[in-house]
């Protein structure tokens, strides 16, 4: 029962974090940003990758397997899984292509993958 509770709690918090990023994106002055770029999803995926890198690095050195397992479920599976979103990424990418924003779509695809991988790597390197 405890593993289920950890995933539910972490997933809920991660989803709320992602939703909060969409609210910030909507409140941003539209004249200052590239309107076609899905900033909220991009930010959520990069941030989730960074947090996952930190979590993996910290919990990889844990000596308590049960504690490690529950924290991984809470933070990695739950929080990071709830915050990141491949399905929304795919939908937004398709919408960009359908609007003939091909350059933006390619940029979104390239930046999302590259920045998420870089963020994960930085997360693993920040923790000694």
| Cβ neighbours around 117 below 10 Å, total | 13
Binding residues for Na(+): 81, 84
Residues in CB range of 74: below 8 A, 6 or more apart: 6, 7, 9, 10
Binding residues: 81, 84
Rounded CA separation 30/100 (Å): 20
Residues in the chain, pLDDT under 70: 25, 27-36, 61-67
- pTM (2 decimals)? 0.88
Q: Model confidence over 75-107: pLDDT tens digits? A: 999 999 999 999 999 999 999 999 988 999 999
């Amino acid at each position: 029962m405890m593993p289920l509770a950890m995933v539910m709690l972490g997933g809920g918090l991660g989803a709320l974090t992602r939703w909060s990023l969409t609210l910030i994106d909507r409140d941003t002055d539209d004249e200052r940003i590239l309107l076609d770029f899905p900033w909220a999803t991009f930010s959520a995926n990069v941030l989730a990758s960074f947090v996952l890198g930190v979590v993996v690095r910290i919990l990889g050195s844990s000596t308590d397997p049960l504690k490690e397992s529950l924290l991984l479920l809470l933070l990695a599976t739950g929080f990071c899984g709830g915050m990141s979103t491949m399905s929304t990424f795919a939908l937004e990418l398709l919408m960009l292509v359908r609007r003939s924003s091909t350059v933006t779509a390619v940029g979104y695809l390239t930046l999302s993958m590259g920045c998420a991988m870089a963020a994960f790597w930085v997360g693993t390197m920040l923790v000694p």
